[in-house]
Amino acid sequence: MLEEYEVVMDYYPSGMITDDVLKVENLSIDLDDLQENEFLVRNAYISTDPYMRPRMLSKRYTPANFPNIEPKKPVKGVFASGQVIASNNPDYAVGDYVVHMSGWKTVSCITEENLSVPGAVYGIELRDGETTDDMYTRAMVREGLVGRTAFHAIATQLAVQPGDCTSQRRYRRRRPHCCTDCKVVRGNSIRYYFHRGKSRVA
């Protein structure tokens, strides 16, 4: 039995989010209850995204694939990254690193429902010279930055220098052919591509 924690929205907020809207509650996970193809991830990082605020309203303002968060229920539908600690899934072994959308918890159970959503769960790997924190940061930059936050990341955290390549494309357009190591920062309906070095794109 694992004794963990999760974040629950207590009620629909009005105006600015206050401390009593979100509560940290105990979460008990019985390893014997793990079903076929399910696995557990100990989360290292979780994302906080602007689109979460309209999901905290009683009326729907977000697409159907991002349903409103319900009062007294765990906050879910946000990206997190961590390491597999128990698995009944042949594709995800203990020790693997993954990104998923299973909510604000210290440990998340990835179910068949999570796996059925395209892009909601996928593996990540350490690159040469990376620490695990570097890897998690790279993964969360890809999924968790939008709008002004994305611009801040490009301008400061990615430390763009003269001669570096930054380009943008609409989601439905083809990825610019820079290099295979492009870092991806999402904006509102735009992806910003970045890599160190001279661009091969006109």
What kind of architecture, by CATH, is found in domain 2-124? Answer: Alpha-Beta Complex (3.90)
For residues 194-201, average pLDDT: 40
Q: Do 62 and 54 meet the contact criterion of CB atoms below 8 Å apart?
A: yes
d(CA 32, CA 171): 41
For residues 169-192, average pLDDT: 42
pLDDT in tens, 56-85: 887 766 556 667 888 988 887 778 899 999
CATH 3.90.180.10 placement within the chain: 2-124
Lowest mean pLDDT, pick from 67-76, 93-102, 123-132: 67-76
d(CA 191, CA 72): 34
Q: 87 is written with which tokens?
A: 């698995």
Helices (H) and strands (E) in the chain, counts: 3, 11
Residue 124 has pLDDT above 80, yes or no: yes
Count Cα neighbours of 131 within 13 Å in the Cβ-side half-sphere: 4
d(CA 186, CA 141): 8
Residue 200 has pLDDT above 80, yes or no: no
Confidence band, pLDDT 50/70/90 cuts, at residue 188: very low
Q: What pLDDT was estimated at residue 174?
A: 44
